[in-house]
Amino acid sequence: MAAIVRPRDGRMIGGVCAALARRFGTSATTMRVIFVASCLLPGPQFLLYLALWILLPAEKTATDAW
């Protein structure tokens, strides 16, 4: 199982939805719609998003290798 990383391309705010979409094999738009729909339910969705934004590493590029 590959590690989840926030991609450099295709992100809107923090790249969390794009990372989860890559992991589960869906489109980033689908994952964003699911997140927005989940915000209608009670729960800590925004806190979870912020935690994943902080905890998930950003994708490395060729220039980051140094």
pLDDT of residue 38: 93
CA gap 53, 5 in Å, rounded: 10
> Are residues 5 and 55 in contact, defined by beta-carbon separation less than 8 angstroms?
no
- Assign 63 a pLDDT band (cuts: 50, 70, 90): confident
Q: How much is the pLDDT for 54?
A: 94
Q: Report pLDDT digits (tens) over 3-26.
A: 888 988 888 888 999 999 999 999
pLDDT (0 to 100) of residue 62: 66
Percent of the chain with pLDDT strictly greater than 90: 62
pTM surpassing 0.85? no
